[in-house]
Amino acid sequence: MSKMLVGRYELIEKIGEGGMAVVYKSRDRLLNRYVAIKILRPEYTRDKQFVENFRKESQAAAGLQHPNIVSVYDVGKEGSIYFIVMELIDGRPLSDVIKEQAPMDYKRAIEITKQVASALSLAHKNNIIHRDVKPHNIMITADGTAKLTDFGIAKAISDSTLVSETSRIIGSVHYFSPEQARGAYVDERSDIYSLGIVLYEMLTGQVPFDGDNPVQVALMHINNEITPPSQLVAGIPPALEKLVMKATDKFQSNRYRNADEMLEDLDNIEFVTKMVGNSVFAADDVKEFQQMNENKAKSKQAEKPVKQKEKSPDTDSKNKKKKTIMIIVAVIAAAAVLFGALYAMGVIGGKKTVTVPDLKNMTYAQAEEKLQSEGLVIKRGDDVASADVDKGKVTSQTPAANEEVKEGSTVTVNISSGKESDVVPSVIGQEYDETTISDYFDQFGFALGNVSYEYSDEDKGIIIDQSPSAGESADEGASVDIVVSKGQKTTTEVPTVTGQTYDDAVKLLTDAGFTVGKTTYEESTTYNEGIVMWQQYEPGTEVKKGASIAIKVSKGAPTVEPDPEDPGNSTGDGGTGDSGTDNGSGNDSGSDTTTNQQ
């Protein structure tokens, strides 16, 4: 039986689900069109602040009109059900495309990334941070258009409110920014980091960090350096690799300041690719590229034109001179374009190429000395918290270690300010393992506190809540209590149906997940006709979902028949009544009474 929301939206079938919501293909009966409806999971509806944020964020997303954003049509509530009505996309998620096609052609990867960056640009200009950019939330339509969806968990922010009031850190751990993993400051550059990870996965066919459990992956985002994609897949443009590494820098200050900056670099790389072609990026070095072009030139010279008719020596000479001039002009133009492209990409330029050394765990003075010996210049970046690098030492660098740069280039180093022990990290959505979670909290100077268990729609063993919440400040060594899912509840409370009409009782039982069992009808002087006067289980009793529950319904008060022996009920035939007392006619009187009752 299909469910109807607010008398307008008919839920047809479930087409997807995530940590926060379940999505249904539905029909809008008012406008006679198919839509997608996202319904907030029940466990979130108990948090009033979260529900309020969900409502505000959904309304904000409804104001975003962009060809690369899934349109939001309506936001509503019925009872305890909160929902968003969205555009129904004829396509499939990018995650499926990556599984089938990765490593993807870098031109296609650039095209998809540009579309998503354009969508994020609009969202960020409207003070909306997505917070969960991942291939599962990027739909690819039948005509190849990328559409970003799931703005339902985005946070509409202002300049003074950059962290969700619920302090919940929401997202997918493989695409987490380091600041999300720490439960710290989140802004538009966090979305840029996640988009950089998506681009990395399209180019290589794998995410940069993976582990045995989500907590390990989150720690990798915080502490480990990303392996350059060119070390995994050959033929990736150096300029595109630099873009990926910049977008996924561990420090927000080193990333693109906004989506427009990233989009501009993507446009430039795409332009150079069209002008020069693929070979410049596939060649191991410039000599190989030049040799390849020389071979092509020789091959063309070997192709002699077929003579159509005899030409005079003067005509032939003029044609040869004309062709020579055209070839020279074409070669000069091509060389100018090629030189400019190679110079822009840093392939040529006259300076010696050097390898950036690994500076992690060095003091600033040691890093400076090391860079000077390599002909490079040092620049001090930010002081940042680090769980694994001592205070005063280099925790990260840009460009990354082992990257090839020109002599005289500047290397920015960020210095550890020690452990960030006053901000509680997030473990919501992670699988509970006492040792792993304890170690994770210990990384940030906290301890695992009380562990309780509750039923929820999340899988058994998944952490669904924590206190203090992620992002809150707490004293070093403070305990963090967590709530772990017991899985879905298999029983539910029986509602009160006694005193309800039969139709209302059926609806109450059905909505609660039960079926109506045996229904009997009895006379009653207490309940009016059609009212339920008894139910099989007491209200509030825990009964297995789907069970049938018997009820009794009142037929109304019993009908009172006239008493034939009561004189007060005698009819006008007084003689007949009197004759009933005569011994000679007693049997006749009894026979008449029986007939009347029948």
Structure tokens at 41: 């999971």
C-alpha pair distances (Å), 196 with each of 65, 107, 150, 243, 266 = 24, 15, 18, 8, 12
Q: Which tokens is 238 given?
A: 């150096």
What is the distance between the alpha carbons of residues 312 and 305, in angstroms, rounded to a whole number? 16
Query: Residue 92: beta bridge partners?
Result: 140
Pairing mode of beta strands 9-17, 3-5: antiparallel
Catalytic site residue 433? no
Q: Would you say 211 and 431 are in contact if contact means Cβ atoms under 8 Å apart?
A: no
Distance CA 547, CA 416 (A): 60
Q: Is the bond leading into 539 cis (omega within 30 degrees of zero)?
A: no
Q: Please tell me the total number of residues recorded for the chain in this structure.
A: 598
Q: Give the Cα separation of 440 and 443 in Å (integer).
A: 5
Q: How far apart, in whole angstroms, are the C-alpha atoms of residue 25 and residue 14?
A: 6
Q: In sequence order, which residues have a C-beta less than 8 Å from that of residue 377 and are 6 or more positions away?
A: 371, 408, 409, 410, 411
* Measured distance CA(472)–CA(163) in Å, rounded: 10
N- to C-terminal Cα separation, the chain: 46
Q: What is the dihedral of CA 458, 460, 466, 469, to 10 degrees?
A: -30
Q: Is the Cβ–Cβ distance between 36 and 88 less than 8 Å?
A: yes
Q: Which residue has the tokens 């005193």?
A: 499
At 498, list the tokens.
């006694």
Find tokens 């210049």 and name the residue.
377
Q: Which DSSP string do the residues of 437-486 spell out, in sequence order?
A: HHHHHHHTT-EEEEEEEE--SSPTTBEEEEESPTT-B--TT-EEEEEEE-
| Structure token pair of residue 249 | 């820098």
Q: Which of 47, 90, 105, 132 is catalytic?
A: 132
What string of DSSP letters covers 502-549? Answer: HHHHHHHHHHTT-EEEEEEEEE-SSS-TTBEEEESS-TT-EEETT-EE
Nearest alpha-carbon partner for 408 in 378, 381, 382: 378
Number of helices (H), then strands (E), belonging to the chain: the values are: 17, 24
381 contact partners, CB below 8 Å, separation of at least 6: 251, 253, 254, 398, 412, 413, 414, 415
Query: 442 is written with which tokens?
Result: 């210990």
Residues in CB range of 375: below 8 A, 6 or more apart: 352, 354, 407, 408
Q: Do 463 and 432 meet the contact criterion of CB atoms below 8 Å apart?
A: yes
117, 195 in Cβ contact below 8 A?
yes
3-state SS class at 128: strand
Residues belonging to the active site? 132
